[in-house]
Structure 1
Amino acid sequence: MNVNIYVTCIADVVKSGVAKNTVLLLEKLGCNVIFLEKQGCCGQPALNSGYTKQALAGMKNLVETFEANDYPIVAPAGSCVYAIKNYAEVFQREGESQWAARAEKVANRFHDLTDFIVNVLGVTNVGAALPGRAVYHPSCSLFRKLGIVNEPITLLENVKGLQLLPIHNQQTCCGFGGTFSVKMAEISGEMVKEKVEHINEAEPEYLIGADVSCLINIGGRLHREGSKIKVMHIAEVLMQGE
């Protein structure tokens, strides 16, 4: 199957290993991965901050880029996927009805990595192995906005040797929320502090998530506290071998 990868800015700039492992994982599962070089930022930071008009040019570029073919588009970040799936509504509000129609067609082809593996490829066990105890953090974008709840958990439950541990208030936001963590820094700081307290109570060896931004936020707090818990994106976990 031919598949486009949407790398996302944060993976490209901060966590290139996530993008690399996403490609390797898709190839392992039999996909021919295509990277369209004109892709850019989805505009989420601007959209979330209310700068809609300033985001339109980048949004149009992304839509136009992925119109180059009709293959599925896979991204290792639920927040970016959710932003793109709202393009049509944004364009419509700005009186750009033609772009809204084009955006909707592109958005319908976008998938979070775990959603694509489980629901499109029909795979629940990728043959990964990672011995140890882990906590999974369900990001708000993936869990609340996209409704992707069981897919990442199913994939992790089938990782040989990995024990998933429940924590108190597991589905509570980590406090990142994009610009929220900047504008409401004190509240955000208390939220991630509480999240880390619950993670520490479980005494895991790994913290796993499917959104890089959340992992950076929680991982930053863990690092400041001197924690030895290893923070991993699910793409990295699923590429671990026996």
Structure 2
Amino acid sequence: MKIHLFSQCLIDMFYPHVGMAGVQVLERLGCDITVPKKQVCCGQMFMNSGYDQGAKAAIKNTIEVFENADYVVSLSGSCALAIRDEYRHVLKDEPEWLARAAKLSERIYEFTEFIVDVLGVTDVGATFNDKVTYHKSCHVTRLMGIKEQPMKLLEGIKGLEYLPMHRADRCCGFGGTFTVKEPEISAVMTREKAMTIYESGANVVAGSDQACLMNIEGMLERLYKDGEIDRHIRVMHIAELLNCR
């Protein structure tokens, strides 16, 4: 099966190992992967801040790069949501681009959604011997409705002990530019998330949106350094867990 990978800016620039893990998992599942060199930001950052006109160049570039793909798989749920649902709002007054956006929206999938719903796989042959909890990010869980797919994939990992997190679907406080515009509120929300992760008893927290994970990791590191929590908790994209052998 041929797919185009949308890697996301954060992964491309700061977490390339996550991108490699995603590629390796998909290749083992029989996918022929293309990572287009012309892909850039999907425009979500601008749209989140109300700059729809400023987002159009990135949006149109994304459409041009991916519109002829059979399947597009995103390692970022929030980016997948932007491409699937939000482009059409920005392009509503441009019929040609609106039609092209609608075509692309039918072909893009979040990483876990693609593996479970399209490939029909819940056991990728991974092994990970540790206690893991899972952050159910807002865009993936609430807006895309992807709830069971990540859980099924975690259940298929041999040796993994899943520990549920209290209020796992509560926002981590990142919210795109919210963390910059409202840092005090964001910090309170992120601290709450970090403490629920700690209280779960897990040694690892996983997720499917790297922006959330980056935010959570920073707070966990600060709490551990300041002695407010007594163990180091690893933060991993679910693609990394699924790539463990």
TM class by shorter chain equals over 0.9
TM value normalised by structure 2: 0.95
Task: Give, in angstroms, the shift of residue 167 of structure 1.
Answer: 2.0
Q: Where does residue 48 of structure 1 map in the other structure? A: 48
Q: Which runs of 5+ in 2 are unaligned?
A: 225-230
Aligned amino acid, residue 84 of structure 1 = I
Question: Separation in 2 of the partners of 1:158 and 1:78?
Answer: 21
Q: Where does residue 59 of structure 1 map in the other structure? A: 59
Aligned amino acid, residue 79 of structure 2 = C
- Equivalent of 1:229 in 227, 233, 242: 233
1:17 and 2:10 equivalent? no
Identity of matched residues, %: 45
- Aligned 8 A contact 2:73 2:110 in 1: yes
- Equivalent of 1:103 in 82, 95, 101: 101
Task: Give, in angstroms, the shift of residue 89 of structure 1.
Answer: 2.1
SS in 2 for 1:131: coil
Aligned amino acid, residue 239 of structure 1 = N
User: 5 Å matches for 1:77-156?
Assistant: 77-85=76-84, 86-92=86-92, 95-156=93-154
Q: Where does residue 228 of structure 2 map in the other structure? A: none
- The answer to which of 42-51 and 194-203 deviates more is 194-203
Q: Which runs of 5+ in 1 are unaligned?
A: none
Q: Residues 15-54 of structure 1, C-alpha deviation per residue, up to 9 Å, x if partnerless?
A: 1111111111110100000112111110011110111101
Question: Separation in 2 of the partners of 1:167 and 1:58?
Answer: 36
Question: Separation in 1 of the partners of 2:165 and 2:70?
Answer: 38
Task: Give, in angstroms, the shift of residue 58 of structure 1.
Answer: 1.2
- The answer to which of 107-116 and 223-232 deviates more is 223-232
1:238 and 2:237 equivalent? no
Question: Separation in 2 of the partners of 1:162 and 1:117?
Answer: 19
Aligned-pair RMSD on alpha carbons?
Answer: 0.9
1:185 and 2:183 equivalent? yes
Q: Where does residue 214 of structure 1 map in the other structure? A: 212
- Aligned 8 A contact 2:112 2:149 in 1: yes
SS in 2 for 1:130: coil
Aligned amino acid, residue 217 of structure 2 = G
Question: Separation in 1 of the partners of 2:40 and 2:200?
Answer: 39
Aligned amino acid, residue 242 of structure 2 = L
TM value normalised by structure 1: 0.96
Question: Separation in 1 of the partners of 2:69 and 2:180?
Answer: 37
SS in 2 for 1:160: coil
Q: Where does residue 75 of structure 1 map in the other structure? A: 74
Structure 1 moving runs of 4+ over 6 Å: none
